Amino acid sequence: MRKKVIAGNWKMNMLPNEAMAFIEGLAPLVKDAEAEVILCVPYTDLFYSLLTAQDTKIKIGAQNMHWEESGAYTGEVSGKMLKSIGVEYVIIGHSERRQYFNENDETVNKKVKAAFDNELNPIVCVGETLEQRESGKAEEIITTQTKLALEGLSDEQVKNTIIAYEPIWAIGTGKTATADDANNAIKAIRNEIAKNYGQNIANEVIIQYGGSVKASNAKELFNTTDIDGGLVGGASLKVEEFAKIVNYNA
Ligand code: 13P
């Protein structure tokens, strides 16, 4: 049985003092949760968050990384740097990075490989735009993004990749995919993995849903056959709300 993994993506929000207060508040509320809990925080919060989250259930992730280990890449942070301070997870290829920072399937694949080279667990985002959905291309887009993101990985690495299906039209809009639609999209992603790596491996891959997840819809979304938790934006900025999402069955 796959475990549920609930990750918050703070995006460009939260100062270090706010991050520390958030984690101190969240830790007791999620200490008995069945789901795994991750907070993906801005670079400037990483060190403070790692210290505050020590000895709690909360794991800390970054929101991006460069694929090179070091070099003349002003403003970039490498996987090796993240690993050196104790970061365990990293979001790769979020739609906001694909849209505003020219990330594409090729750079996503390089970053996923570099994450594994540095013993970081990648959370790889895939998802279609509204236009692609309305023209019937959603499944083709998300399965192609999945295939290209995982290209060249070992079976073991594929098994340890977390995929987040985030339909772009549902991000920050208050519009959530229905549990059925999200579950079907995630099944299509799992089938694509099965096609390339076999059903046994596909059955082990954690595939999350993201896009306007909140306390009021988490239970329905996460009690489906294929949705293995969520990648949560706005609702991960409020302690009580995020704790309710983590404890979605309580
Ligand atoms: P919202 O939960 O704010 O819609 O954001 C989703 C997201 O982009 C998480 O990565």
- Closest atom of ligand 1 to 212 CA is 4
Q: Whose CA is nearest to atom 9 of ligand 1?
A: 233
- Determine the average pLDDT of the residues in 72-98: 98
Ranges of each domain in the chain: 5-246
Which of 27-41, 79-93, 162-176 has the weakest average pLDDT?
Answer: 162-176
Q: Which of 118, 99, 223 is nearest to 172 (CA)?
A: 99
Confidence of residue 175 (pLDDT cuts 50, 70, 90): confident
CATH architecture of 5-246: Alpha-Beta Barrel (3.20)
Give distance in angstroms: CA of 39 to centre of ligand 1.
13
Give distance in angstroms: CA of 212 to centre of ligand 1.
6
Give residue 1's pLDDT: 80
pLDDT digits (tens, 9 = 90+) for 193-248: 999 999 999 999 999 999 999 999 999 999 999 999 999 999 999 999 999 999 99
- Please, which residues have CB within 8 angstroms of residue 204's CB and are 6 or more apart in sequence? 2, 159
Q: Is the pTM of this model over 0.75?
A: yes
Give residue 146's pLDDT: 98
Tokens linked to 38: 């991750």
Q: Whose CA is nearest to atom 1 of ligand 1?
A: 233
Residues having CB closer than 6 A to ligand 1 are 9, 94, 166, 171-172, 210-213, 231-235
Q: Evaluate if residue 80 carries a pLDDT over 90.
A: yes
- Closest atom of ligand 1 to 125 CA is 10
DSSP 200: H
- Determine the average pLDDT of the residues in 123-146: 97
**H or E element: which one contains 186?**
helix 179-197
What is the biggest distance separating any 2 CA atoms in the chain, rounded to whole angstroms?
Answer: 49
Give distance in angstroms: CA of 120 to centre of ligand 1.
22
Give residue 66's pLDDT: 98
Q: Whose CA is nearest to atom 7 of ligand 1?
A: 233
CA distance linking residue 52 with residue 67, whole number of Å = 28
Give residue 28's pLDDT: 98
Report the percentage of the chain scoring pLDDT > 70: 100
pLDDT digits (tens, 9 = 90+) for 22-46: 999 999 999 999 999 999 999 999 9
Give distance in angstroms: CA of 233 to centre of ligand 1.
3
Residues with catalytic roles: 94, 166
